Structure 1
């Protein structure tokens, strides 16, 4: 009986009582290997194998003791064997019971969505629990691993809140992977809720990008789909806020896109009037920017705005009476116009006037001038009005309006004709000359252009 009890300790003590050292050593090695196998694999079949090993050791000890009945085991040895066996078995039972308690706390924390508490509970598992109840504590290891993955997901999502869609996608991929394992719904919900509670962010454009991605995410029919519902609730305000921010940064195209997105996706939202006003402001800013670029690129009557006119709907209306204008192209004569007729600001101009190079207009008078080479052969010079071909555009519509030209009057046939010649020989003045207009002549010629 003492031998069987000694072997029940799994330490081969029964064999030692019989003085059989080799079976005792084999029993210890076998027990150690089986315990290591059970702890490392955490499989139930390993525990069954260990139980069979335990039963085999008891049976073998009983069998050997009966064959050697003549060998007397002292009372003290019997009591010692019993004490060791009871201590081993009691320790194993207590450790296993404690392992069940730990795993109950782990499961309770996981069901409550509290990863921190679950990890802390699983942290109580020691090597003794794994030896006495590896299959019991092993599920808790999976919970800890899931919680570590959720911690990485939370970190990715936190970075995603700053507008990094790549981190946002990675965070949701991790959540989906954890959710594929049964029992993790509440812990995933906790991480997701924490992320959503951080929305909207201080940056409306980041929030708009995030909500757009959340709404466009493929539904998975699980707890993660709650993000799309939250995004729908937050996106309208984010779109308007981002549009306003982009307008302040002169990023009118993107601003308009955000306003229009709200009108397309949320036609019944209370912010639609604000979005419509934003679209109008953005359109005006886009038109104005285009006009200014074209004006800046204008170097003549066939370039820039003069070649590709564009409208600016915010320009003053082209109305009856006087209309202020931007004068482009050849400015030799238009620079002589009164300053209150001219402006370089498209927001103050009703017209854009493109002046081409001056040409001969109507003939005014032909005069004869003395020829230094011959008193009988005079220089015949005809004076012409200054004809300025024009392209006149109504800035508000970008459409061309009349007149197509102006002719500037002026003095002709001066008593002394000043002219320039090139080379070494003076052939006299040319046969065609412009009249000499005064500022009032220029103003009178251009008055029909600015007056409707």
Structure 2
């Protein structure tokens, strides 16, 4: 009898799970963000970290240097990680790729691209603002616009941000130049070289013409300085500056416009300080360089006044007495003072100088109206030499008191050699001996004898002059 058999039910075979494939497009899109997202989808964490580090390094170098080479390097790196991600995903075999991977990768990359695009657009707008401000010569506008730049702009468009930085740097240098040039107006003329050197160096960079021109205009507009002599120094430097055939050559025109008034003003100041020679040089400089200027007449008057002041100082120096009984140097080396009055009819006031070592100064007996007090109000200079015996007047006998002998004494006029100079021209207008008359033959005369003998009085004596006698002798010299 057959026994029934029991069959075991066959265990069901496990349904094979669908293998997860990596979508090359999703991975490539993920890596296109440069954040290593594609590598994360491939579960290649080390590659993701390495990719992110390389991206950070390249971006950092790009931001710090703003060199186009790093922009190219970033682009090459972007192509490389995209291609590498595609390659790795394509080797993963067949399977089912999840649509959401593409969506995630696309969203991340689009966010990055959109951010970079917006930042580049904003950076471009800032760049235009910087350029427009620079073209207006508005350094304040340049600084305001460039202050809007932040790190994001530098990542998105490093070269453009760097160009803005260069413009700001140029404006900073122009600010330094303006400070240097402002010190010139207070007398520090050494800063002219530094200030114009800075302007020239900024101008050498293309695009800075307007900002340099505005800085130069500000400086030139501040001329003249308060001190006309400082202005003269500045205008002389600008006049002598070597032409550069650019906007800086405008300074020569300002020098021509400003120099005449500065030269006259400085000349007037030097005159007030009794620096007549320097004042004369400034007046003559105007007449030599700008003979047709409206201030030429004033300069001529100033030059004449300075010349006369120099002449007067020289005459006064020559009239300084050399010592007791000696004539001043003027009597042998006369000089002119063209500001003096010319010799004419009437009383010509004079300065009197004696060369009498032991005699008297006859000017004491002359009227005050004949005598000048200074070379500035003198018409004549009268130089008197040593007294000598002039014409005899009378001879009288005198008996010595002790000897009892008779001596005949002849009385002579006082002969005084004189030289008369006209102060205005310094020319000798008279050279002769004048003779002063006086009283003679007094009843008693005094003389000196040796102790052991009395030979009697000297046989010749001067007459005794009076004020009227002295005035009569000198009158023809000063009264015409």
Same fold, TM exceeding 0.5? yes
Cα distance in 2 between the residues matched to 1:35 and 1:89? 15
Q: Which runs of structure 2 are paired with 1:322-401 in the superposition (5 Å)?
A: 322-330=347-355, 332-362=361-391, 365=395, 368=398, 370=400, 372=402, 375=403, 383-401=411-429
Count residues with an aligned counterpart: 449
2:465 partner SS: coil
Deviation at 1:354, TM superposition (A): 1.8
Tell me: CA distance 1:182–1:419, structure 2 relative to 1, closer, same or farther (3 Å).
farther
Q: Is 1:38 the counterpart of 2:66 in the alignment?
A: no
1:259-282, Cα deviation, whole Å (9 max, x unpaired): 322322223333333333333223
| Local SS of the residue matching 2:196 | helix
Residue 105 in structure 1 maps to residue 115 in structure 2: no
* CA RMSD after TM alignment: 3.1
Does the residue aligned with 2:157 lie in a helix, a strand or coil? helix
77 and 323 in structure 1: CA distance in 2 versus 1, 3 angstrom threshold: same
Partner of residue 307 from structure 1, selected from 332, 343, 348: 332
Q: Distance in 2 between matches of 1:183 and 1:379?
A: 113
Q: 1: distance between equivalents of 2:199 and 2:392?
A: 88
How far the C-alpha of 1:201 sits from its partner, in A, is 3.4
Shift of residue 439 of structure 1? 1.9
How far is 1:368 from its partner?
Answer: 4.3
What corresponds to 1:407 in structure 2? 435
Scaled by the length of structure 2, the TM-score of the pair is 0.83
Q: 1:20-59, aligned counterparts within 5 Å? A: 20-59=44-83
Structure-2 residue corresponding to 1:243: 267
1:35, distance to aligned residue in structure 2 (A): 1.2
Among 277, 289, 313, the residue aligned to 1:289: 313
Q: Classify 1:32/1:421 alpha carbon distance in 2 versus 1 (closer, same or farther; 3 Å).
A: farther
Secondary structure of the structure 2 residue equivalent to 1:387: strand
| Structure 2 alignment gaps of length 5 or more | 1-24
Alpha-carbon distance change, 184 to 440 in structure 1, aligned in 2, over 3 angstroms: same
Separation (CA, whole Å) in 2 of partners of 1:47 and 1:57 = 16
Distance, in Å, in 1 between the alignment partners of 2:50 and 2:174 is 46
Task: For residue 126 of structure 1, report the CA deviation from its aligned partner.
Answer: 1.4
- Maintained 8 Å contact 2:328/2:353: no
Q: Identify which range, 119-128 or 276-285, moves more after superposition.
A: 276-285
* 1:206-247 superposed Cα distances (whole Å, 9 cap, x missing partner): 333333332332222211222222332333333333333433
- Distance in 1 (CA, whole Å) between partners of 2:266 and 2:422 is 34
- Deviating more after overlay: 378-387 vs 246-255: 378-387
Residue 216 (str. 1) matches residue 246 (str. 2): no
